[in-house]
Chain A
Amino acid sequence: MSADISTAFAPSDEGELAALIVERFRARAPLRIIGGGTRVQTGHLPGAALATSRLAGVVTYEPGEMTLIVRPGTTMDEIQPMLAAEGQALAFEPPDMRGLLGGNGAPTIGGVVAANASGPRRLLAGACRDHLLGIRFVDGQGRILKNGGRVMKNVTGLDLSKLFCGAHGTLGVLTEMVLKTLPAMPERATLALPGLTAAEAVAVFSAALATPFEVSGAAYRDGTAWLRIEGLGPQLAYRRDRLLALLGDRRAEVLEAGATVDLWQGLRDVAHFAGAETPLWRLLVKPTDAPAAVRALEALGGACSLDWGGGLIWYCGPALPDAVRRIAPHATLVRRGGLQGPAFPPQAATIAALSAGLRRSFDPAGILNPGLMEG
């Protein structure tokens, strides 16, 4: 198989992809699926590269129906301006990981969906999986299949879209995705609160997120907490003033629209931990558990930042995997920085067995990104 590693396939349509996978299935020959190559590192996996670059293009975009149908190799650079021209966006705010991981490809929508990649607005708008309405894919036997549809409410049969979103290509190769688009709120501002501990920041987040003012970002790093507010017309000023009143004596600086865009793009892309080789972890916790976890992690060296109101901890530091996972079991190693071992967290035995059963069912020969998600 070692000769295979330098091979690269780039099928130009679904039929060609299916034919290729049929062949690979028969030969039990693995494939590494690559979109822009900016998100999950698959270089260590066996097999030939399968690029989605030619499975590209927007099939349909209907702003009045808030739906986008798109092929996986379509770049985010193509999609985002097209939606913005209609005043819409992918509300889950997918991050760009190039700064963190040093990739120089163009991020694709297929990669975003395969990784369930969701940024700060996940707090208010839900994750990528909440915006995925339907899929077409080729499974590990080369069958061309579909699930879900293009409407916002659909309970017809089992929902396989959710399963594929975040499966990192281990169940099938996506060939078409239907995504819900939403109006982008035209007005935005940020409240910046300096001089806070992580515990104080999470308390501020909990208070702000208990209000109906639709806080669309709640992040913290280096002693400063930020709350992003958005709205339509006069909503913004109203929400800002009500939140400032809620914060009472706490000193808060208001950042206007331009500064808000830059700040949250940086937080989304975790720019503060970019350009380093240190291991980087993504940990999911109950928000009020975050302050204790941050203390424990930083005691092992390195630094943390918070997103999702404290529910997401980014930890950039030298701690060993076992130590990190003792503090927060739901930990994914995003940048290896020389660390060995599985990137994804281990699962309870019954759940691991069900997941393995599902993989066998979609990919009986184990040829699609084999082992990528093994904990």
Chain B
Amino acid sequence: MSGQFILPNRIARDEERNPVSSIAMPEPDPRVLARAAEITAALRAVLPDDAVISDLEETRAYECDALTAYRCPPLAVVLPRTTAEVAAAMRICHDLRVPVVPRGAGTSLAGGALPTADCVVIGTMRLRDVLEIDTRNRFIRVQTGVTNLSVSAELEPHGFFYAPDPSSQLACTIAGNIAMNSGGAHCLKYGVTTNNLLGATVVLTTGEVIELGGPEMAPMGLDLMGLLCGSEGQLGIVTEATLKILPRPEGARPVLIGFDDAEVAGECVARIIRSGVLPVAIEYMDEPCLRAVEAFANAGYPKCAAVLIVEVEGAPEEIAFQIARVREIADALNPVEFRESRNADDAAAIWKGRKSAFGAMGRLGDYICLDGTVPVGQLPYTLKMIGELSRQHGLEVANVFHAGDGNMHPLILFNANKPGDLERAEAFGADILRLCVRVGGCLTGEHGVGIEKRDLMGDQYDPADLAVQMEVKDVFDPRWLLNPAKVFPLPASQPYRERAAAE
């Protein structure tokens, strides 16, 4: 999802509404709840006064992330300013056996930062320092509470940028980006967070601090940093990161291609990729999405079954050459329109509708945004099947997504005030994700599993495949204190959690 910050899932418009319960969380540990005062006192003893929050009115601000249908205030919130303070808090939670929920900016769409009543939230948002910019060696080192967008803003005067650009980039932080291995619209060319992360300072559950990687271009020994990136707070908390930086391209230019057949649009994507042109982004919008965008933003898009926005980069001559190649490919497929941009205003007009897509969908009602990914060749079939599922479930769906890498974002429309509608939407969503897995894809391309996709993990992985991942967690977190009820289905993780609790 490109560009502007988009308000998260709007599935809980009614702030007072009770949390729905279709995704279960374990009962809070009464032994921990009984020691709440002791735990907060221990945290206060080693941290600055304003770094520990335990007043219910204040902890409520941390009761959910962007998956707002699920809420629970934590036992306490810790907001450290240094790696040492994170380590001190982790050590206390470890010694007192208190679950820890790491939190960046709380923009996870998957419930990755959802607290439990018996947990301490450790937030990284006060770790705000930019530590080093080294353009000769092409890296930036930051504390991980800095926002994604501010990293690129810091680099702009130097002529560099940081490539991953999730749509929440105005708010989301590097800590969360690393935990979820965030992507964005430009991954087709530049990869996701794991491909742009060089080094990490990690606080382990014991409070020990390790340094992984650095400015060097390969890991020493096993690639623990590669394992840590995208581990959703299961293995440790990253407090500092060394990030790869790239020289800013000379320019970028989008083209808009309209097709009267969704499958032909999918074919166009595959042919562009095969041709050797590697655009930085190929975005796809289907007819329901185009209708909503037109009503909301008046983007002037053609009225047709599907629109592609293809963006290429380079100097003017390079851009012209690449666009000519894309045009040749598209023309062979009889598009209803091929719109080039001659200047910045034209380019902005082409992106306008895409960037307002989520806002436009929000005007139509509540929606759930999915994140399944499929092989590019399966896009046409998957789109067709999503249409059929939409009819079966009686809910409308719009598709707007990163077509170049098959990362779909179906938006399921529903009415949160209508009893049972959220559950229907969730059931429809689960069917779409199972479909993604069945055609060779995965449950989540860039949002993460969190709690949202947790109970579907068995559709993608066999029990042994999940077991080996939980064994890896065991190595880093034998007490199962870090985000313990996320990612792995509760019945699968129960033996590990119970064993850890009994020790």
Contacts and interface: CB of A to CB of B under 8 A. Distances in A.
Contacts of B187: 152-153
A369 to B, nearest CB: 13
Given A151-B406, A151-B445, A163-B226, A158 B247 contact: no
B407 A153 contact: yes
B181 A155 contact: yes
Contact of B447 (A155, A311, A375): A155
A126 B402 CA distance: 21
A345 B273 CA distance: 40
Contacts of A302: none
A183 B406 contact: no
A362 interface: yes
A159 B230 contact: yes
A160 B227 contact: yes
B375 interface: yes
A63 B270 CA distance: 9
Contacts of B314: 212, 235
Contacts of B188: 152
A155 B446 contact: yes
B374 A286 contact: no
B194 A159 contact: yes
Interface size class of A (residues with CB under 8 A): 35 or more
Q: Which of the listed residues A123, A149, A209, A288 has the most CB atoms from chain B within 10 Å of its own CB? A: A149
Nearest to A149: B442
Interface in A337-351: 344-345, 347-348, 350-351
A348 B210 contact: yes
Contacts of A127: 217-218
Interface in A289-308: 308
B222 A159 contact: no
A167 interface: yes
B217 A312 contact: yes
A41 interface: no
B321 A232 contact: yes
B254 interface: no
A143 B405 contact: no
Contacts of B216: 284-286, 311, 330
Interface in A143-164: 143-147, 149-163
Contacts of B136: 206, 210, 287-288
A285 B249 CA distance: 27
A273 B370 CA distance: 52
A118 interface: yes
Nearest to B190: A126
Nearest to B471: A361
Interface string B266-302: 0000110111111000000000000000000000000
A136 to B, nearest CB: 10
A159 B375 contact: no
B410 interface: no
B394 interface: no
Given A354-B224, A373-B222, 5 more contacts: A139-B468, A160-B469, A183-B277, A183-B278, A352-B221
19 contacts: A64-B274, A87-B276, A146-B465, A150-B375, A151-B440, A152-B188, A153-B183, A153-B187, A157-B461, A163-B222, A210-B136, A232-B321, A286-B215, A287-B137, A347-B220, A350-B208, A355-B222, A361-B468, A361-B474
Interface of B: 135-138, 159-160, 180-181, 183, 187-188, 191-192, 194-195, 204, 208, 210-212, 214-227, 229-231, 234, 247-250, 270-271, 273-278, 313-315, 317-318, 321-322, 325, 373-377, 402, 405-407, 440-449, 453, 457, 460-462, 464-466, 468-469, 471-476, 487
